[in-house]
């Protein structure tokens, strides 16, 4: 028997979510319904996937919980922050993702989740108008108030451990600036000096989480933990970080389909991706400065899979464009079109059209569950810094751009990274190649 390298998942796991909108209420409701045996957590790797351990006659396929100690759904306790005061039940109804019949059986539990006041700056999300907001002297005070929220949650609920998950809106783009973002000392000084255009509210949440021994997951494309100061803080506190941006619809398709083109040695002339969605995320992304953050995240996927330097005949000159259009009639039901212009033998052109009519929050909810459970696992395994093995779940996986590191965006290579990490934490050999 292998020797696991993980502290056991004893007690309760607190999940504190930034944002109590469509994604997080769908996540919470689904977990509560699954606990009652009234729904299935479909789409969740931690609940369904099996990983091979051993080879030859010793080969076995096991669920994650049979390889490493994992919390059950019964062990999860939720809390949230939001700019709107609606509780989780009201918010789930307002989001119109789930039918009332799938919310009502857990109404009592959802009613109890009342959002804490959000650390918020309207300049970072101009389309949001909520008033359930902290009054802060400066960014340092904002951070201290979030830390107090985490401590109070631990005290009031008696949870054993906490993970903090960002499932709120995309902030305006913050370019990494090494005058403020390079070291912990500079970051802290910028918070105290209230340099509001360099210190996003999300950075205050992340800093607070790491200081309170809580792994932090960035589920939007925000710069937040993707700066050297946060990497340094993660190393110093020995608390893991992961990001960024949930890989749900179109980018999931792209990271899975682009390898077909690359593996079959077909050429690419262009890939045009466009989306329509009508939820709060779409509203926020209708603001150009917020869309810029998302665009950077969505564009990065293709370029690291179909690489010009590796195959100049095939990928040296393709055109890649991404668009998101706010279209209220669709609400949470997003439609993603991919129009792909490829070429084959002797340069003859062909086309591929993919039309994915997906449900944004239905795809994101199981990712939230998996990321929280796997970040808690990483923390119990003594892992810290950027958790690259979670790239499978993320649209724009964090990487050390200061050292010109190229992230792995190829879905099947990401899956190997995930499996190998779980094998290692379970005390087995990481025995698959990523190549």
Q: What pLDDT, on a 0 to 100 scale, did the predictor assign at position 331?
A: 84
13-246+362-425: CATH topology: Rossmann fold (3.40.50)
Query: From residue 152, how far is each of 94, 274, 306 by CA, in Å?
Result: 28, 43, 48
Q: How far apart are CA 121 and CA 25, in angstroms?
A: 23
Q: What pLDDT, on a 0 to 100 scale, did the predictor assign at position 2?
A: 58
C-alpha closest to that of 202 among 120, 270, 265, 303 = 120
Beta-strand pair 267-277/333-343: antiparallel
Kindly tell me if the per-residue pLDDT of 1 is higher than 60: no
Could you count the other beta carbons within 10 Å of the beta carbon of residue 326?
A: 19
Residue 332: band (very low, low, confident or very high) from pLDDT cuts 50, 70, 90: confident
Q: What pLDDT, on a 0 to 100 scale, did the predictor assign at position 300?
A: 75
Overall average pLDDT of the 266-279 stretch: 93
Share of the chain above pLDDT 70, in %: 98
**How many degrees, rounded to 5, is the angle at CA 363 between CA 92 and CA 215?**
85
Q: What pLDDT, on a 0 to 100 scale, did the predictor assign at position 282?
A: 77
250-359: CATH topology: Dihydrodipicolinate Reductase; domain 2 (3.30.360)
Residue 259: band (very low, low, confident or very high) from pLDDT cuts 50, 70, 90: very high
Q: What pLDDT, on a 0 to 100 scale, did the predictor assign at position 311?
A: 97
Average pLDDT, the chain: 94
CB 320 within 8 A of CB 303: yes
Pick the range with the lowest mean pLDDT from 33-47, 124-138, 294-308, 413-427.
294-308
Helical (H) or strand (E) element with 359: strand 349-359
Residue 181's Cβ-side half-sphere holds a number of Cα atoms within 13 Å equal to 19
Q: Structure tokens of 388?
A: 């690259």
Q: What is the domain partition of the chain in residue ranges?
A: 13-246+362-425, 250-359
C-alpha closest to that of 270 among 359, 198, 173, 339 = 339
Overall average pLDDT of the 122-132 stretch: 91
Order the strands of the 216-218 sheet from edge to edge: 116-117, 76-82, 13-18, 161-166, 216-218, 240-243, 385-386
Q: What pLDDT, on a 0 to 100 scale, did the predictor assign at position 85?
A: 97
Could you count the other beta carbons within 10 Å of the beta carbon of residue 389?
A: 23
Helix axes 184-192, 228-237, angle to 10 degrees: 110
C-alpha closest to that of 231 among 384, 63, 112 = 384
Q: What pLDDT, on a 0 to 100 scale, did the predictor assign at position 164?
A: 98
Exposure string (b/e) for 413-430, b if CB count within 10 Å is 16 or more? bbbbbbbbbbbbbbebee
Q: CB neighbours of 353 closer than 8 A, spacing ≥ 6?
A: 337, 338, 339, 340
Q: What pLDDT, on a 0 to 100 scale, did the predictor assign at position 295?
A: 75
Kindly tell me if the per-residue pLDDT of 18 is higher than 80: yes
C-alpha closest to that of 425 among 49, 45, 64 = 64
Q: How far apart are CA 214 and CA 242, in angstroms?
A: 12
Q: How far apart are CA 154 and CA 152, in angstroms?
A: 5
Query: From residue 156, how far is each of 77, 79, 152 by CA, in Å?
Result: 11, 11, 6
Residue written as tokens 């989001």?
Answer: 95
Q: What pLDDT, on a 0 to 100 scale, did the predictor assign at position 347?
A: 97
Q: How far apart are CA 317 and CA 88, in angstroms?
A: 48
What does the pLDDT look like over 175-189, one tens digit per residue? 999 999 999 999 999
Kindly tell me if the per-residue pLDDT of 279 is higher than 90: no
CB 228 within 8 A of CB 182: yes
Q: What pLDDT, on a 0 to 100 scale, did the predictor assign at position 297?
A: 66
Share of the chain above pLDDT 90, in %: 86
The reply to whether domains 13-246+362-425 and 250-359 share a CATH topology is: no
Overall average pLDDT of the 125-145 stretch: 95
């Amino acid at each position: 028997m292998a020797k696991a390298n993980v502290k056991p998942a004893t007690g309760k796991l607190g999940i504190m979510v930034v944002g109590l909108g469509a994604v997080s209420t769908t996540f919470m409701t689904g977990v509560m319904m699954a606990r009652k045996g009234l729904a299935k957590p479909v789409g969740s790797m931690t609940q369904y996937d099996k990983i091979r351990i051993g080879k030859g006659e010793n080969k076995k396929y096991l669920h994650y919980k049979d390889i490493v100690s994992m919390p059950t759904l019964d062990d999860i306790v939720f809390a949230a922050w939001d700019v709107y005061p609606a509780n989780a039940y009201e918010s789930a109804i307002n989001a119109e993702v789930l039918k009332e019949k799938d919310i009502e059986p857990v109404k009592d539990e959802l009613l109890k989740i009342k959002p804490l006041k959000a650390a918020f700056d309207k300049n970072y999300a101009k389309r949001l108008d909520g008033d359930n907001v902290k009054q802060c002297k400066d960014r340092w005070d904002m951070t201290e108030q979030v830390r107090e929220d985490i401590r109070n949650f631990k005290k009031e609920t008696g949870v054993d451990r906490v993970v903090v998950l960002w499932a709120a809106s995309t902030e305006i783009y913050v370019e990494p600036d090494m005058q403020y973002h390079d070291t912990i000392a500079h970051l802290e000084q910028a918070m105290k000096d209230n340099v509001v255009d360099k210190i996003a509210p999300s950075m205050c949440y992340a800093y607070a989480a790491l200081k309170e021994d809580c792994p932090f997951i960035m589920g939007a494309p925000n710069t937040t933990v993707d700066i050297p100061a946060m990497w340094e803080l993660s190393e110093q506190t020995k608390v893991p970080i992961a990001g960024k941006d949930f890989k749900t619809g179109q980018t999931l398709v792209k990271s899975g389909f682009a390898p077909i083109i690359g593996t079959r040695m077909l050429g690419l002339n262009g890939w045009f991706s466009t989306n329509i969605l009508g939820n709060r995320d779409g509203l926020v992304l209708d603001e150009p400065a917020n869309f810029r953050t998302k665009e950077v995240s969505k564009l990065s996927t293709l370029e690291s899979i179909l690489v010009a330097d590796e195959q100049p005949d095939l990928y040296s000159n393709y055109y890649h464009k991404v668009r998101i259009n706010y279209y209220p009639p669709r609400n949470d039901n997003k439609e993603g079109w991919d129009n792909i212009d490829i070429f084959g033998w002797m340069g003859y052109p062909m086309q591929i059209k993919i039309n994915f009519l997906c449900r944004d929050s239905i795809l994101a909810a199981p990712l939230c569950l998996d990321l929280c459970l796997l970040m808690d696992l990483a923390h119990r395994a003594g892992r810290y810094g950027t958790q690259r093995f979670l790239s499978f779940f993320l649209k724009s996986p964090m990487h050390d751009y200061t050292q010109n590191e190229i992230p792995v965006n190829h879905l099947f290579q990401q899956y190997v990274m995930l499996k190998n990490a779980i094998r290692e934490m379970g005390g087995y050999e990481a025995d698959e190649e990523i190549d």
